[in-house]
Amino acid sequence: MSGERLIRVLLILLGIPAIVLFLGAKSEYVMGHFTVVDSTHGDLSKKLKIRDFQVSVPPSVGSDSSYYLPGLADADILLIGDSFFRWHRGGPMFAEQLSGVTGHHAVNLWSPGGKGYPQRVISQLEGAGVRWSDTTRVLLVECIERNLVRNYSDSKYALESVSRPDLNSGVAENRGTAGLVDLLQTIRYRWFESAELNYQYLLQNSPATVGMTEFYNTMRYRVFDIMPGMITVYDNDPVMLFYEDTIDDSEHSYFYPHSDETVQAIAETLEKVQSEVLNRFNLRLIFLPVPNKISIAAERVTDVPYDMFVPRLCAELERRNVPTISLYELFRSSEVFPYHPTDTHWNQTGVEQALNQLNDLMISRGWVDGISSDL
Amino acid sequence: MLFNSIQFLVFFTAIVFLFFSLPHKTRWVLLLLGSYYFYMCWKVEYIFLILLSTVIDYIAGLVIGATKRISIKRIFLAFSLITNLGILFSFKYWNFFSDSVNQVAQSFNIFHSLPTYEILLPVGISFYTFQTLSYTIDVYRGKKEPEKHLGIFALYVAFFPQLVAGPIERSTHLMPQFHEEKSIDPRRFASGLRLMAWGFFKKLVIADRLAAYVDTVYGNAGDFYGLPFWIATFFFAFQIYCDFSGYSDIAIGAAKILGYDLMTNFRRPYFAIDISDFWKRWHISLSTWFRDYVYIPLGGNKVRKSRWYLNLAITFLVSGLWHGAAWTFVIWGALHGFYLIMSILTVRLRQKLADISRLSRYPNFHRVFRALITSTLAIYAWVFFRADGLDSALLVTRRLFDFSAGLSLQGMVQNSTDFIIAWAAILVLLGVDLVVELMEKYSGVRSFALSTRWLAYGMLIFSILLFGVFNGQDFIYFQF
């Protein structure tokens, strides 16, 4: 066979699958039917695909697209948070557990997820249709430590109102093509912005390639101690993985220098949020900053001491009379580590400790009648 | 779309297959749409900037080529220059300009400040702007007939392999190739794939590995002393070389597979024997652009000596500013201009020193010595290129000579295996570069045996798969 003919054959053998893959990775149908979601391992472990780090975790409940809010009108406690509120491994979702503990209806407002979607407290309340109520209710705002600076170091996100399409763009694909804006955003998201993510997802989760990916990653790790770039900090005795955002050189990072000015700025924004939600919606704010996993287990992977960002922020918020759930000391002294070892999120121990604190705080303030103190 | 992504591998394979399946007359459509898709994967809206540049320069080229009136030619050339440079200035330099003016104003107690904007810099804007400008200027100078086919012209502006980080092509070189019919050529395929593999090795195994060490040290400059700065600066020199020349290799290789030749952009710059030689080996497409469109129009070296030095200084200052809207880049350019002028001024002195020390009796050793000196100067200049700001660059300069922490690499090296791989990869690169340099110098050595070559290719691919850093890191030069 001549060189030219050989190349033609190779081009057909590779080119047609490439076109199929190119188009297929843009299709929700193909992605859904040709991938198998790994529900038995933590989110970091799923990304890593190294056998040594595959620790089983309980199945996940909840999702990113819980957009419709049954019972919102009757809710006594409204929740705004990130993925710590949107799903949970090891028990019912946080809102459900909170309802069970307090005996009051708690509803988690849908909030956009992902790196490009900061918390917009006022917009999210408006977007969910929350109105002034004569009965004072509680608003619990949760935020993971790594996003505190981005979300609250100035008030542009927390206090602003944004248009609905902007707010919802992250889930355009989940809600069909309701209008031209959604359609364009879906095309933009699927065909351009997330194209690479789709290929990676396909490679990692397609039954045809998952074994190969696992073998390749495991071999690189075992022979040369090389981890895939996204996760660079880990401990293998016992196994523990840390989210890449918390160890990079950005404002999300453990190593970011959180100055007193930053702490003050965040506290000031939250103080404004507290006043705004009370005046506009008759909601009493409770703030729940969840420490990064690495802040609780820093000594396992770095000599750099924790700058006590969350405790400092909690103290400042208390000083400003913004009710705050302070979890750092509690998590540090916990007998059971409050996070899943190979997942970014807290486990049931972490949730229960947060619920306990929350319960105590609400009882002490007398905000919600009939709260059970028995967890 | 990054070259070092699954997306690109799928996209490129599909493009090559379709390209050779389509008739010649329609191939430009595929390449143009593919190029626009390639660009839109970064930010969809910014495709309008490319379309705007394309339309303006297409019309300007046609009018300049059609009219005989010099005044009209000048008007349309000015129109093209002002629009293209205006877009570039607005997106890339406005904030820098505004900050600088505000600082000067404040020092005179004037507190009316110019606004700054949070704008995402369009990827590759400096590259495609310079490419389109060269076309209009060449048409104005009569070196190039205006391109009448809008599609072909648009493809020249947006050809995906070199769209976002060069090589900055000339219309006289690239545009005629789009009119030629291309067929499958096994030798070009082999050569293109080889170049791409070598480019991927440089980017994934070397540049992205070194980046972690460089970022750690330069990102926390206050925490390190002495040795880590030497290593990080040395690593950065190779990071940027491998990052950028790796991109060029992949671009040239990809274009070669499709049947197009792009210009050589790097020729082993750290083997340069003086700064002038360095710039004949580093980012050749840019340095020749500045030579042809800035330095020579300023008078080049055909003027008084003082004016010649001024021309060199201006060219290097502008070159520094091209790289980034910050004073660190201006200083980097100025430093290179200074090196070059000093090397011209000291030619005789250096020759005398070589004679006195008898270095000139051993030309190969002398060459190595000169290459070491030149590389050291170039590497030091990278401090300004990499540092986060002027203060940081000066801090690094001070800390380079501060060994109060001994020779500790604590905080810099987390994984010793990876650190060893980094050094080994640099040695491999230097070894390969040396072989190529010698092959070029001594034309007797043309090639290796087939088995040796296949072994080398196999090891290259194996190394990429085994030691590659696959974290989708951007190429450094995208920001320019």
Which residues in chain A have their CB less than 8 angstroms from residue B10's CB?
Answer: 18, 21-22, 25, 199
Establish whether B323 is a catalytic residue: yes
Peptide bond into A118 cis (omega under 30): no
Q: How far is B135 from chain A (nearest CA, A)?
A: 30
Domain count across chain B = 2
Question: Taking a C-beta distance cutoff of 8 angstroms, is the pair A309, A263 a contact?
Answer: yes
Of A147, A86, A88, nearest to A120 by C-alpha is A147
Q: Are residues B390 and B405 in the same domain?
A: yes
Q: Is there a domain that residue B1 lies in? A: no
Residues B118 and B195 reside in one and the same domain:
no
Q: Does residue B272 sit at the A interface (CB-CB below 8 Å)?
A: no
What is this model's ipTM?
Answer: 0.81
**Rg of chain B over CA atoms, in angstroms?**
23
What are the φ and ψ backbone dihedral angles of B69, each rounded to 5 degrees? Answer: -80, 120
What pLDDT is recorded for position B475?
66
Alpha-carbon distance B356 to B341, whole Å? 23
DSSP string, A301-326: T-SSPP--HHHHHHHHHHHTT--B--
Same-domain check for residues B135 and B198? no
Residue closest to A199 by CA, chosen among A322, A31, A60, A46: A31
> What local confidence, expressed as pLDDT, does residue B23 receive?
94
Which pLDDT does position A174 carry in this prediction?
40
Nearest CA in chain B to A227: B469
A257 touches chain B (CB under 8 A): no
Count CB atoms within 10 A of the CB of residue A326. Answer: 20
Interface A–B counts its CB contacts (< 8 A) at 92
Interface with A, mutate which of B2, B3, B4, B6 (most A CBs under 10 A): B6
Instruction: Please tell me the distance from the alpha carbon of residue B350 to that of residue B345, in angstroms, as a whole number.
Output: 10
Interchain CB contact of B186 with A (< 8 Å): yes
Residues B264 and B134 in one domain: no
Distance from CA of B319 to the nearest CA of A (A): 29
Query: What average pLDDT does range B88-97 have in this prediction?
Result: 89
Confidence of residue B472 (pLDDT cuts 50, 70, 90): low
Phi and psi (nearest 5°) for B295?
Answer: -65, -50
Instruction: Name the active-site residue from B112, B283, B323, B366.
Output: B323
| B434 and B301 in a common domain | yes
pLDDT of residue A160: 78
B55 touching chain A per CB within 8 A = no
Q: Position B280: which residue type? A: K
Which chain A residue is nearest to residue B204, measuring alpha carbons?
A229
Question: What does the alpha-carbon distance between residue B296 and residue B298 come to, in Å, rounded to a whole number?
Answer: 5
**Do B6 and A255 make contact, defined as CB atoms within 8 angstroms?**
no
Reduced to 3 states, what is the DSSP secondary structure of residue A143? strand
> Can you read off the two tokens belonging to residue B212?
């972690």
Structure tokens at A114: 């992902």
Same domain, B154 and B253: no
B211 & B88 share domain = no
What is the structure's pLDDT at B256?
Answer: 96
* Partner-chain contact B415 A225, CB within 8 Å: yes
Tell me what pLDDT residue A374 has.
37
Q: Which residue of A has its CA nearest to B40?
A: A192
Alpha-carbon gap, residue B461 to B205, rounded angstroms: 11
Domain boundary residue, one of B158, B183, B208: B183
In terms of Cβ atoms closer than 10 Å to its own Cβ (0-12, 13-18, 19+), residue A56 is exposed
Interchain proximity B14–A255, CB inside 8 Å? no
Q: What is the pLDDT of residue A30?
A: 80
Contacts of A69 (CB under 8 A, 6+ apart): A107, A108, A109, A110, A128
Average pLDDT of adjacent 10-residue blocks, chain A of 375 residues: 86 93 85 81 85 85 58 85 88 90 85 69 86 89 93 85 48 48 79 84 84 89 78 79 80 88 96 94 95 92 90 96 95 94 93 93 74 39
B45 reaches A (C-beta below 8 A): no
Average confidence (pLDDT) over B336-354:
91
Task: Using a pLDDT cut of 90, give the percent of chain B over it.
Answer: 65
Picking from B161, B183, B205, the residue at the C-terminal end of a domain is: B183
Rounded to whole angstroms, the Cα distance separating B178 from B147 reads 11
Hey, what are A277's tokens? 């939600």
Decide if B299 touches A, using CB distance below 8 A. no
Q: Are residues B109 and B224 in the same domain?
A: no
Does the CB of A3 have a partner CB in chain B at under 8 Å?
yes
The structure tokens listed for A110 are 């849908």
What mean pLDDT is predicted for residues B3-32?
94
Residue B100 contacts A where some CB pair is shorter than 8 Å? no
CA distance B156 to B255: 12
In chain B, what is the greatest distance between 2 CA atoms, to the nearest angstrom?
A: 73
Tell me: do B212 and B108 sit in the same domain.
no
Q: Give yes or no for B372 touching A (CB within 8 A).
A: no
- Please give the Cα distance from B438 to B444 (Å, whole number): 10
Residues of A in contact with B410 (CB under 8 A): 303
| Interface test with chain A among B4, B5, B13, by most A beta carbons within 10 Å | B13
SS3 A346: strand
Q: Do A225 and B467 touch (CB under 8 A)?
A: no
At B70, is the pLDDT very low, low, confident or very high (cuts 50, 70, 90)? Answer: very high
Quote the pLDDT of residue A176: 42
* Local confidence band at B224 (pLDDT 50, 70, 90 cut-offs): confident
* B234: confidence class by pLDDT, cuts 50, 70, 90: very high
Helices B47-66 and B150-158: crossing angle, nearest 10°?
A: 130
Is B128 among the domain residues? yes
Residues 6+ apart with CB under 8 A from A144: A82, A83, A84, A289, A290, A292
| Alpha-carbon distances, residue A121 vs A124, A139, B478 (angstroms) | 5, 10, 36
What's the angle, vertex CA B253, arms to CA B143 and CA B191, rounded to 5?
A: 110
Query: What's the gap in Å between the CA of B140 and the closest CA on chain A?
Result: 38
Closest residue by Cα to residue B158 from B185, B181, B135: B135
Nearest to B14 among A15, A200, A226 (CB): A15
| B430 Cα distance to chain centroid | 19
Which CATH architecture fits A60-183+248-365? Answer: 3-Layer(aba) Sandwich (3.40)
Mean pLDDT in residue range B139-155: 94
Give yes or no: residues B37 and B86 share one domain.
yes
Q: Quickly list H helices, chain A.
A: 3-24, 28-33, 43-48, 83-86, 94-102, 121-127, 148-152, 164-168, 180-187, 195-205, 210-224, 260-281, 293-296, 309-319, 328-332, 348-365
CA distance B425 to chain A (A): 14
Q: Does B386 fall in a domain?
A: yes
Q: Please state whether A176 falls in left (phi above 0), alpha (psi between -120 and 50) or beta.
A: left
The angle that helices B363-386 and B327-345 make with each other, rounded to 10 degrees, is: 160
Burial (0-12, 13-18, 19+ Cβ within 10 Å), A82? buried
Residues of A in contact with B469 (CB under 8 A): 229
User: Chain B residue with minimal CA distance to A13?
Assistant: B17
The answer to whether the Cβ–Cβ distance between A199 and B469 falls below 8 Å is: no
* Contact between B5 and A19 using a beta-carbon 8 Å cutoff: no
A176-190, B95-109, B206-220, B364-378: which has the minimum mean pLDDT? A176-190
* Contact (CB<8Å) B415/A12: no
- Least-confidence region, from B279-288, B357-366, B441-450: B441-450
Q: Whole domain around residue B160: which residue ranges?
A: 6-183
| Category of A21 on φ-ψ map: left (φ > 0), alpha (ψ -120 to 50) or beta | alpha
Choosing among B8, B12, B17, B123, which should be mutated to test the A contact, i.e. which has the most A CBs within 10 A? B17
Last residue of a domain, which of B135, B151, B183? B183
**B178 and B319 share one domain:** no
**Mean pLDDT confidence for B320-331:** 90
* pTM given for the model: 0.80
User: B203 and B235: one domain?
Assistant: yes
Whole-angstrom Cα distance, residue B472 to residue B7? 11
Q: Do A216 and B465 touch (CB under 8 A)?
A: yes
**B467 in contact with A at a CB cutoff of 8 Å?**
yes
Residue from the list B10, B185, B471 with its beta carbon closest to the beta carbon of A230: B471
Q: Does A318 touch chain B (CB under 8 A)?
A: no
Is residue B274 within 8 A of residue B354, CB to CB? The reply is no
CB A57 within 8 Å of CB A318:
no
pLDDT digits 0-9 by tens, B407-454: 777 778 877 888 999 999 999 999 999 988 888 877 655 667 888 888
Q: Is residue B480 part of a domain?
A: no
| B427 occurs within a structural domain | yes
